[in-house]
Amino acid sequence: MRTLRLREWTTTHALALTARERDTLRTVLRATVQPTTGSTDRYDVTPGNTIGAVLVGETNLLIEPKIPISRMLFLLGYAAEPNAWRHDDATLGAAPDLVTGVVGLFTTLCDRALRRGILTGYRSVEADLPTVRGRINLAHQLRARPGLDLPLAVRYDEHDEDITENQLLLAAALKLRNLPLRGDTIRRSLHRLIDSLQNVTVPIYRPAAIPIVTWTRLNLHYRPAVELARLLLRMHSPDLASGSTETPGLIIDMAVLFETFVRASLREALHASPDQFPSGDNCPPLTLDAQGRVRLKPDLSYWPHGQCAFIGDVKYKRDTGPGQSSDLYQLLAYATATQLPAATLIYADGPPEPHIHQIPAAKVNLYVQHLDLTKPPKDLLQQIDHLSLLVMAAGEGTQTPTGARRQSR
């Protein structure tokens, strides 16, 4: 098998590509593909935020992250479930490549979840049976078979392994099964997981409709594995139809991952609930105009007592320090809509010194912060702890944080 190895935001010149490989890089991996100057059959390829692997025929198209794989795995694991994350997890440093690292992390969390055995629970079943079981579904019976006695449309509760938690694990495992893995141990772990879930219905999920699991003391030990499965499925592992053949792939949008990590880690540092520190889609209604037509969905917002106390945005890009104009305009719109005296912009890369832009006309301070994703997990979380203090300070309109540079706009 041929492996075409690329790196996030790095241009590789004069690549020989088939038409299908070229189109997959453009449409699925969202890379920029341009003809090489002076050539009729070569291409210059520049990946964007999307990393992962897609099998196209006998070619493995692999885009690796610009940060170390161990750091990407930390972001992925922590974003899925902060409470259960282990800083000394051996899977962080042992991965030879991106795909093997992601699969290794997933199977490790699944092995921990299944140590007590396969989780069972009650589920509602609707079926047509020759005898009564549970309750007769009269509405369905009369609609489907008016005037007929059998079979009976019934609804009953079944207690078995075919529950949402196991279905999510199986869905993620099946997506990862056909990817090229380096290491027999991880490959066997993945197949062992699939075999252990053989009594579970094979689910089909759309990335925008991944089920949410309610956590109780009975299923809490499943949470790290299930939340990672939900995150992988939500970020989309495509099955690219080509006739009747499925092309397996693992796709991770680093911009989505970075945003999810920042929100999850700040939520954890603030001891806030998802309702108090929601995602943009789940944010309480926020509009820029009086008519309510300009809907805003900030990446970060904090609602400790039902009122917005902090607003912010996350950008997976490198910043030279003072912040980029378009990003600051967006941040100012958030501050204007919430009538807050401050808002914070967080970049994935940039100088360690924070910046502040004072906007006299709007009486707003715009803070610009940078995270260093190359730092070890402990140091990265210390940066998050510092940001959590700024969340409170910015929300309360307190004085400029120590070390912030004042910039006028």
The string of DSSP letters for 81-120 reads -GGG--TT-THHHH-SSHHHHHHHHHHHHHHHHGGG----
Per-residue H/E/C for 143-176: HHCCCCCCCEEEEEEEEECCCHHHHHHHHHHHHH
Q: What is the pLDDT of residue 138?
A: 65
Token couple for 407: 């910039």
Q: What is the pLDDT of residue 163?
A: 94
**What single string gives the DSSP state of each residue in 379-397?**
HHHHHHHHHHHHHHHHHTT
Q: What is the pLDDT of residue 298?
A: 97
Specify the amino acid at residue 317. K
Distance CA 382, CA 216 (A): 30
Q: Are 70 and 253 in contact (CB under 8 A)?
A: no
Closest alpha carbon to 358 in 322, 304, 384, 305 = 322
Distance CA 288, CA 297 (A): 10
Q: Alpha carbon 282 to chain centroid distance?
A: 15
Query: Average pLDDT for consecutive 10-residue bins of the chain (409 residues)?
Result: 93 96 94 94 96 92 93 92 66 73 92 94 74 69 67 73 96 90 87 95 87 94 95 69 55 94 95 93 93 95 91 94 92 95 93 91 93 92 92 56 44
Q: b or e along 335-366 (b: 16 or more beta carbons within 10 Å of the residue's beta carbon)? A: bbbbebebbbbbbbbbeeebbbbebeeeebbb
The per-residue pLDDT for range 351-403, each reduced to its tens digit, is 988 899 999 999 999 999 999 999 999 999 999 999 999 887 755 544 344 44
Distance CA 264, CA 304 (A): 16
Nearby residues of 45 by Cβ (< 8 Å), 6 or more positions away: 6, 11, 12, 15, 17, 25, 31, 32, 33
Q: Are 98 and 76 in contact (CB under 8 A)?
A: no
Helix%, strand%, coil% for the chain, nearest 5: 35, 25, 40
Signed CA dihedral, 252, 236, 224, 392: sign only: positive
Q: What is the pLDDT of residue 400?
A: 43
Token couple for 53: 């692997």
Q: What is the pLDDT of residue 401?
A: 45
Token couple for 140: 């369905």
Here the contacts of 93-98 (C-beta below 8 Å, separation 24 or greater) are 95/69, 95/70, 96/182, 96/183, 97/62, 97/64, 97/69, 97/182, 98/51, 98/52, 98/53, 98/62, 98/63, 98/64, 98/65, 98/69, 98/72, 98/250
pTM: 0.85
Distance CA 95, CA 106 (A): 12
The per-residue pLDDT for range 167-187, each reduced to its tens digit, is 999 999 999 988 888 778 889
**What single string gives the DSSP state of each residue in 248-282?**
-EEEEEHHHHHHHHHHHHHHHHHT--TTTS--STT
Here the contacts of 209-213 (C-beta below 8 Å, separation 24 or greater) are 210/168, 210/234, 211/164, 211/168, 213/164, 213/165, 213/168
Token couple for 137: 């579904």
Half-sphere exposure of 36 (CA within 13 A, CB side): 16
Distance CA 54, CA 31 (A): 13
